[in-house]
Amino acid sequence: MADAQTGGANLLVTAQYVLTQDAGRTLLKDAGVAIRGDRIVELGPVEALAARYPEAERLHQPGGLIMPGLVNTHTHAAMACFRGLADDLPLMRWLEDYIFPVEATLTGEMVQASTLLSCAEMIASGTTSFCDMYLFAQEVAQAATVAGMRAWIGEVLYDFPSPNYGPPAAGLRYAEELVTAFAGHPLITGTVDPHAVYTCSPDLLKACGELAARHNALLVIHLSETEDEVRLCRERYGTTPVRHLERLGLLNERLVADHGVLLSEAEIELLAARQVKVAHCPTSNMKLASGVAPVPALLAAGVTVGLGTDGSASNNDVDLLDEMDLCAKLHKVQQLDPTVMPAPVVVDMATRGGATLLGAQDRIGSLEPGKKADLIVLDFDQPHLVPLYNIPSHLVYAARGSDVVHSVIDGRIVMRHRQLTTVDLAAIIDQVRGISRQIRKIVSG
């Protein structure tokens, strides 16, 4: 599995297995990945790679599995500072009584520190790319850059003032500046992120769509997440959220619909026809009792579906391996069918599916020559991973985020032997604990 490029490799990552996640889900044994700069040069047997690239740095994991880094298609990374703040509440009360009031007091410094904590958690549990919607997006991007993560980042836009950009009219300018500022950046891509149909007027939604089209950027929105959202949309506009966006001309290949819980069969077909992508967040949907997204039906219709954790205020972590396990089991029990959402399909959603959702399938999501060197290594020499009959099964039903021992993003080792190389974890933990003390004072009155 070599490519036609000539030249050496500066890093060899080798292990007992390599799950490439290419179109054939190729599995290599006693193999590795040769990396030059930010790209994969070659995949092949350990001995052959070692002989071909004797000067390359070695990262070897006996009994390990190399696979593409996981892609978290929907999160609010900075909400790590709200973890456990307001659990066991309905979505609207959770938002209006707790999250929105506390968010009004946030600063860029608080968001950057909290995002960096989430980045550390994501790296440590196997995520190498994430799609983020939140406030102070420039600071979110700075945190992701410091951590060395690949990220799609947007500033959440509403009809009401933001603690970041101020009045709603300034939000579109901020969003355009964000998209422009990171054009061509090796790790960060700007997106346009109206919050939802119940917090954004039709005029704002149309302006967001025009902005996304002008810059060929993703348009990311919470869509059909709860019964309350659907009811409010019907009351205001006489139709469902999906049909509302269709009327506004916003259902297209750039749209990423976060959640998509309440969808009719006709709406699923419409999403497929318009090439809309869906970010599935099973843990958040379960915890907020939003419902079960019709993911098997979406996949059957040809809709691209990725996995997301949502934020740590409604999850309460950003461990995508845990999300894979819950995704498979949730749909089995909801349909009373153990054959629904088999393990290989879920692994695809967390890798290839996420990459396709983000329009990055030519760069990430699988390990192939010429693609970006984004990969993780899991240690399968663990009691809960022995014996080994089926790798996708282990990844979905048995593996844990703590089984990830090495992580490489854009050719850079960002975690080696469980030690983060880009983040001062102790300092960030201390900083976020300080932020939590401020938040506690606000909530208590």
- For 244-300, the pLDDT digits (tens) are 999 999 999 999 999 999 999 999 999 999 999 999 999 999 999 999 999 999 999
User: Where does the pLDDT of residue 92 fall: very low under 50, low under 70, confident under 90, or very high at 90 and above?
Assistant: confident
Does the pLDDT value for residue 83 go beyond 70? yes
For residue 101, what pLDDT is reported? 87
| Mean predicted lDDT score pLDDT of the chain | 96
Long-range pairs for 335-343: beta carbons < 8 A, 24 or more residues apart: 335/296, 340/296, 341/295, 341/296, 342/392, 343/390, 343/392, 343/393, 343/395, 343/396, 343/397
Does the pLDDT value for residue 444 go beyond 80? no
Sequence-distant (≥ 6) Cβ neighbours of residue 268 within 8 angstroms: 294, 297, 298, 301, 303
For residue 345, what pLDDT is reported? 98
- Looking at residue 295, its amino acid is V
Average pLDDT in the 417-444 region? Answer: 94
Distance (Å) of CA 79 to CA 247, 283, 403: 33, 15, 24
Does the pLDDT value for residue 6 go beyond 60? no
User: Where does the pLDDT of residue 98 fall: very low under 50, low under 70, confident under 90, or very high at 90 and above?
Assistant: confident
Using a 10 angstrom Cβ sphere, with 0-12 exposed, 13-18 middle and 19 or more buried, the burial of residue 349 is buried
Using a 10 angstrom Cβ sphere, with 0-12 exposed, 13-18 middle and 19 or more buried, the burial of residue 347 is buried
Average pLDDT in the 40-54 region? Answer: 97
Average pLDDT in the 56-61 region? Answer: 97
Residue 210 has which token pair? 């025009």
> d(Cα 103, Cα 49) in Å, to the nearest integer?
51
User: Where does the pLDDT of residue 3 fall: very low under 50, low under 70, confident under 90, or very high at 90 and above?
Assistant: very low
User: What pTM, to 2 d.p., does this model score?
Assistant: 0.96
Average pLDDT in the 336-351 region? Answer: 98
Q: What is the pLDDT of residues 140-162, one digit of tens each?
A: 999 999 999 999 999 999 999 99
User: Where does the pLDDT of residue 5 fall: very low under 50, low under 70, confident under 90, or very high at 90 and above?
Assistant: very low
HEC sequence for the chain: CECCCCCCCCEEEEEEEEECCCCCCCEEEEEEEEEECCEEEEEEEHHHHHHHCCCCEEEEEEEEEEEECEEEEEECHHHHHHCCCCCCCCHHHHHHHHHHHHHCCCCHHHHHHHHHHHHHHHHHCCEEEEEEEECCHHHHHHHHHHHCCEEEEEEEECCCCECCCECHHHHHHHHHHHHHHCCCCCCEEEEEEECCCCCCCHHHHHHHHHHHHHHCCCEEEEECCCHHHHHHHHHHHCCCHHHHHHHCCCCCCCEEEEECCCCCHHHHHHHHHCCCEEEECHHHHHHCCCCCCCHHHHHHCCCCEEECCCCCCCCCCCCHHHHHHHHHHHHHHHHCCCCCCCHHHHHHHHHHHHHHHCCCCCCCCCCCCCCECCEEEEECCCHHHCCCCCHHHHHHHCCCHHHEEEEEECCEEEEECCEECCCCHHHHHHHHHHHHHHHHHHHHC
Q: Give the orientation angle of helix 202-215 with respect to helix 168-181, to 10 degrees.
A: 10
For residue 1, what pLDDT is reported? 57
Specify the range with the lowest mean pLDDT, choosing from 16-25, 91-100, 101-110, 319-328.
Answer: 91-100
- Provide the residue count of the chain: 445
Average pLDDT in the 200-227 region? Answer: 98
User: Where does the pLDDT of residue 445 fall: very low under 50, low under 70, confident under 90, or very high at 90 and above?
Assistant: low
For residue 4, what pLDDT is reported? 37
User: Where does the pLDDT of residue 89 fall: very low under 50, low under 70, confident under 90, or very high at 90 and above?
Assistant: confident
> d(Cα 404, Cα 289) in Å, to the nearest integer?
30
For residue 383, what pLDDT is reported? 98
Residue 375 has which token pair? 């990969």
> d(Cα 375, Cα 75) in Å, to the nearest integer?
20
Does the pLDDT value for residue 93 go beyond 90? no
Give exposure, 380-413, as e/b (b: 16+ Cβ within 10 Å): beeeebeeeeebbbbbbebbbbebbbbbbbbbbb
Average pLDDT in the 4-32 region? Answer: 91
> d(Cα 270, Cα 190) in Å, to the nearest integer?
26
